[in-house]
Amino acid sequence: MTHFRPSMSLIATRLGVSVASVSNALAGKGRVSPELAGRIREVAAEVGYVPRMAGRALRTGRSQVLGLVLPDIANPLFPQIAQAIESAAAAAGYGILIADSRNDVATQTQVIGRLLERGVDGVAIVLRRGTRVADIGIPVAVIDSPSTPGNTVSADHWQGGQLVMEHLLSLGHRKILIVGNNPASNVQNDRIGGMRSCLGAEVHSEVIWVEKIEAAHGKGCALGLADYARRGFTACATVSDLTALRALTEVLGAGIAVPEAMSVTGFDDLVWSAVVRPSLTTLQMDMATIATVAVEALVAAIGTDSGPRGPVRPLPGRPDRVPMRLIARQSTARPDAANAQPAHPVPARTGPNQNDSNGGFPT
Amino acid sequence: MTHFRPSMSLIATRLGVSVASVSNALAGKGRVSPELAGRIREVAAEVGYVPRMAGRALRTGRSQVLGLVLPDIANPLFPQIAQAIESAAAAAGYGILIADSRNDVATQTQVIGRLLERGVDGVAIVLRRGTRVADIGIPVAVIDSPSTPGNTVSADHWQGGQLVMEHLLSLGHRKILIVGNNPASNVQNDRIGGMRSCLGAEVHSEVIWVEKIEAAHGKGCALGLADYARRGFTACATVSDLTALRALTEVLGAGIAVPEAMSVTGFDDLVWSAVVRPSLTTLQMDMATIATVAVEALVAAIGTDSGPRGPVRPLPGRPDRVPMRLIARQSTARPDAANAQPAHPVPARTGPNQNDSNGGFPT
DNA sequence: AAATCGAGATTAAACGTTTAATCAACTTTT
DNA sequence: AAAAGTTGATTAAACGTTTAATCTCGATTT
């Protein structure tokens, strides 16, 4: 039972009119009498007409498809981005073609080429670190960090850093460890920069980088956080939930109570943040807004025939950096000298976590 | 500087030949002399010709694009699937259009409709729990669980359950807690079924379900694992890394040493499994193979004009369930009575984790 | 009554590609 | 030497849509 897909001409012959009238009626353009338009819509619904994008694309030169190129699909941040972009694009009538640049500059240009062959009207790209996006003849929205040249829109990582640091300071922390991952990342440097911009003379802080420690002691080695705890550090502000998780488990395993003896914060509100125990205080990007700004900018550039064919700017009135939001959960609290090295309380069946917006992910 | 994209006719007029010859030469079909073909390819490269898919799609009725519909893009398992499918599809010359069904049956059919409008040649679908895929007139590859009717290919979750249980038994565990999440999931039931199929009379096991506990005590509540530890359970086999992570942090927070006093296992080898401390013993799906089987089956069905327009079967010789692989890391060990309730050792800067294949995810 | 206008429809071309059908010029077979 | 076959190329149609240009009436203006 082979599905026959009706075309405009089917509707046209059924009604004894021209395909042009059908096209005009369905598109609401041109001149077609209300009654005829009505009959056409009727028959269209009746036969289950659905426009063939291929024909439209060929004629108009627009595919109604955007490319989404990511440095590494396996990055745990990807789902958020993809979901937000897909949603924003769908709302604007666009589909999303994905491409994985596998953290490689060569493949990045190669996959962009494949997207172009497929005729995407524009591409949203999360930059591989240190890459510059070449001129590819169609609008490009870059999502990385405000300090990246050519960036279209991104989260305000600096402000996020400030937010988390203010949170820790207001809780009374005065010796704070900042844990970065890779010093070459614009995003991470922004976040740490924001954190440090809040520090007064009364607070002591140190910055350590995971990749440097790993270079010395091997991948997956301990970060030596117990030492910092002994030296009086009461908070550990990391630059990503993944690092926070690593820190959290290391600290817990060393018998240091979280958050009583050591507060831990992350970044990005990844899936597990709400699930671990204690649940993780972290910062959430407003991906919906970021994606909307990016997609709006793209479709605007696509719409204007002489718009920018290359990096694109947010529409007037739209931000190029969108504020992050602090999600305070269980892993941060006032530093409690009494509990500094506590016996281990048996966790009771406590109430629900704060801000638990995780949907209990099934497999 | 507006990018002009040359078409076949440009090449044709340049050489004073017909477009048909250009098409034939570039496609390697039809009859065209070797020298002319050579000159055509030469000019094509010279002007930077890249075929316009829209034209081809219109003529052939094939878009060279597959749809990938996921129940929830935000699921942490998605990156693996998307990456594998994208990769397999790209190798077969197909692009991937993504769609998010938001865990809703209505939206699922709706997004599938949008994919059809876009003219996808086939779709790979990760089923929303309990859904049946309707007849949509194009080949469909279903990726869920061997026990799902209509399933095309998936991991062998049952065998995975056996693998992890054999691992625990061979380490000497005899009181084992099995932690499921949602009893309605085919996947989870397969995994637990596999686990229990290995149990002899000499081993005691209990099964608990997170969602049931949460229904009683609220979201994010403790699972009461410390009690099980006190009752002599030495291993906790979960049905997903997310649950394992929850268990791990709860156990660590209760001052129970992992793996000395309690071994913990997960499923799926999600990103954080290698990062937490102790790193998580888990089971890895062979996504590359799964994706390859699915894509191969799809393109085969697309290729044959009278192939199945609906759920598709693996090609002859290809498996419909692909074995899982045990990734043994630090979170499992022999149950050690001496260390059952140990003092907390300060974690030294130990060497690298086993099987650490995590790429240090940046943000 | 002729010219103008406008609404409502049609014609026809165009987008870029593939492919069946055709044709012209040789080469081989009878 | 005519018939048949082969090779290398061209013609032309087709896919489904959009859109500029055109056409036909009937109504309004001169």
A36: CB within 7 A of chain C nucleic strand: yes
What integer pLDDT is reported at residue B194 of this predicted model? 98
Which residue type occupies B296? E
**Residue A202 CB neighbours (<10 A):** 7
Residue-level pLDDT at B346: 43
Res. A130 pLDDT band, cuts 50 70 90: low
- pLDDT of residue A2 exceeding 50: yes
pLDDT at B357 over 60: no
Using the predicted structure, report yes or no on whether residue A67 has a pLDDT greater than 70: yes
Mean pLDDT score, B180-203? 95
Closest nucleotide (C1' vs CA) to B9 is C16
Chain A residues within an 8 Å CB radius of B248: 249
Mean pLDDT of B188-210: 96
CA dist A326 and B293 (Å) reads 43
Q: Mutating which of A277, A305, A324, A331 best tests the B interface, going by the most B Cβ atoms within 10 A?
A: A277
Does the CB of B29 fall within 7 Å of any strand C atom? yes
**Chain B positions in Cβ-Cβ contact with residue A63 (cut-off 8 Å):** 54
What are chain A's domains?
8-51 (no CATH), 65-138+288-322 (3.40.50.2300), 157-285+325-339 (3.40.50.2300)
Q: What is the pLDDT of residue B308?
A: 62
% of chain A at pLDDT higher than 70? 90
Cα–Cα dist A280/B38, whole Å: 63
**Chain C bases near protein Cβ (<7 Å):** 7-12, 14-21
Mean model confidence pLDDT for chain A:
90
Place B130 in a pLDDT band, splitting at 50, 70 and 90.
low
**Contact (Cβ atoms closer than 8 angstroms) between residue B208 and residue B221:** no
Report the residue of B64, B252, B280 to disrupt the A interface, i.e. the one with the largest count of A CBs within 10 Å: B252
Across A63-68, average pLDDT: 97
Q: What's the average model confidence in pLDDT over A271-299?
A: 96
B350 touches A at CB < 8 Å? yes
Q: Would you say residue B70 has pLDDT above 70? A: yes
In this complex, which residue's CA is closest to the C1' atom of nucleotide D18?
A59
Of the candidate ranges A128-142, A211-225, B254-268, the one whose mean pLDDT is the lowest:
A128-142
Peptide bond into A345 cis (omega under 30): no
Model confidence at A220: pLDDT above 90: no
Provide, in whole angstroms, the distance separating residue B46's CA from nucleotide D8's C1'. Answer: 24
Residue A125 clears pLDDT 90, i.e. is over it:
yes
Is pLDDT of B19 > 90?
yes
Question: pLDDT at residue B140 above 50?
Answer: yes
CA-closest candidate to residue A62, choices A140, A138, A141, A142: A138
Backbone torsion region of residue A131, taken as left when φ is above 0, otherwise alpha when ψ lies between -120 and 50, otherwise beta: beta
- Quick one: average pLDDT of A44-66? 95
Average pLDDT over residues A115-133: 86
Q: Quick one: CA torsion of B153, B155, B158, B162, rounded to 10 degrees?
A: 150
For residues B178, B180, B186, B191, the Cα torsion angle rounded to the nearest 10 degrees is -30
Is the pLDDT confidence value at B49 over 60?
Answer: yes
Strand partners, A124: A68, A141
CA distances from B86 to A124, A131, B121, B294, B351 (A): 17, 22, 15, 11, 35
Position A42 pLDDT exceeds 70: yes
Check if the beta carbon of residue A266 is closer than 8 Å to that of residue B361: no
Q: What is the mean pLDDT of residues B183-188?
A: 92
More confident residue, A277 or B74: A277
**Structure tokens given for B350:** 């130990």
To the nearest whole angstrom, how far is the Cα of A82 from the nearest Cα of chain B?
7
Query: What integer pLDDT is reported at residue B127 of this predicted model?
Result: 80
- Selected residue with higher pLDDT from A241 and A349: A241
Q: What is the pLDDT of residue A309?
A: 75
Exposure string of B289-318, with b = 16+ CB inside 10 Å and e = fewer, is bbbbbbbbbbbbbbeeeebebbbbbbeeeb
Residue of B nearest to A96 (CA): B97
d(CA A256, CA A252): 5
Q: What is the 3-state secondary structure (H, E, C) of chain A?
A: CCCCCCCHHHHHHHHCCCHHHHHHHHHCCCCCCHHHHHHHHHHHHHHCCCCCHHHHHHHHCCCCEEEEEECCCCCCCHHHHHHHHHHHHHHCCCEEEEEECCCCHHHHHHHHHHHHHCCCCEEEECCCCCCCCCCCCCCEEECCCCCCCCCCCEECHHHHHHHHHHHHHHHCCCEEEEEECCCCCHHHHHHHHHHHCCCCCCCEEEEEEHHHHHHHHCCCCCCCHHHHHHCCCCEEEECCHHHHHHHHHHHHHCCCCCCCCCEEECCCCCHHHHCCCCCCEEEECCHHHHHHHHHHHHHHHHHCCCCCCCECCCCCCCCCEECCEEECCCCCCCCCHHHCCCCCCCCCCCCCCCCCCCCCCCC
Residues of A with Cβ-Cβ distance to B275 under 8 angstroms: 220, 242, 245-246
* Average pLDDT, integer, range B22-27: 97
Contact check, Cβ <8 Å, A351/B221: yes
Using a 10 angstrom Cβ sphere, with 0-12 exposed, 13-18 middle and 19 or more buried, the burial of residue B343 is exposed
pLDDT, tens digit (0-9, with 9 covering 90-100), for A166-189:
999 999 999 999 999 999 988 999
SS3 B325: strand
Question: Residue A230 corresponds to which tokens in the numbers above?
Answer: 């002994």
Write out pLDDT tens, residues B93-110.
999 999 999 988 899 988
Q: What is d(CA A8, CA A22) in angstroms, rounded to the nearest whole number?
A: 6
- pLDDT number for residue A134: 73
Q: Round to whole Å and give the CA distance between A197 and A194.
A: 5
Nearest nt to the CA of A18 via C1' is: C10
**CA-based nearest residue to B264, from B231, B230, B232, B225:** B225
In the predicted structure, residue B166 carries a pLDDT above the cut 70: yes
| Cβ contact B3 with chain C strand, < 7 A | no
- Protein contacts on strand D: list nucleotides below 7 Å from a Cβ: 7-12, 14-21
Give B10 CA → D23 C1' in Å: 35
Q: At what angle do helices B34-47 and B8-15 cross, to 10 degrees?
A: 120
Q: What is the pLDDT of residues B275-306, one digit of tens each?
A: 999 999 999 999 999 999 999 999 999 988 76
pLDDT bin (cut points 50, 70, 90) of residue A344 is very low
Write out chain A residues lying below 8 Å of B224, CB-based: 349
Which pLDDT band, with edges at 50, 70 and 90, does A30 fall under? confident
pLDDT of residue B199: 96
Contact status, residue B101 vs residue B128, Cβ threshold 8 Å: yes
Four-CA torsion B186, B192, B198, B200, nearest 10 degrees: -130
Average pLDDT over residues A219-239: 95
Mutate which of B128, B285, B361 to test chain A, going by most A C-beta atoms within 10 A? B361
Q: What is the pLDDT of residues A240-270, one digit of tens each?
A: 999 999 999 999 999 999 999 999 999 999 9
- The nucleotide whose C1' lies nearest the CA of B54 is C16
Q: How many CB atoms lie within 10 A of CB B42?
A: 12
- pLDDT, residue A359, reads 41
Rounded mean pLDDT, B308-331:
93
Nearest to A97 among B96, B111, B214 (CB): B96
Query: What pLDDT is stored for residue B78 in this prediction?
Result: 85
- Is the predicted pLDDT of residue B360 greater than 50, yes or no? no
Separation of A8 CA and C29 C1' (Å): 53
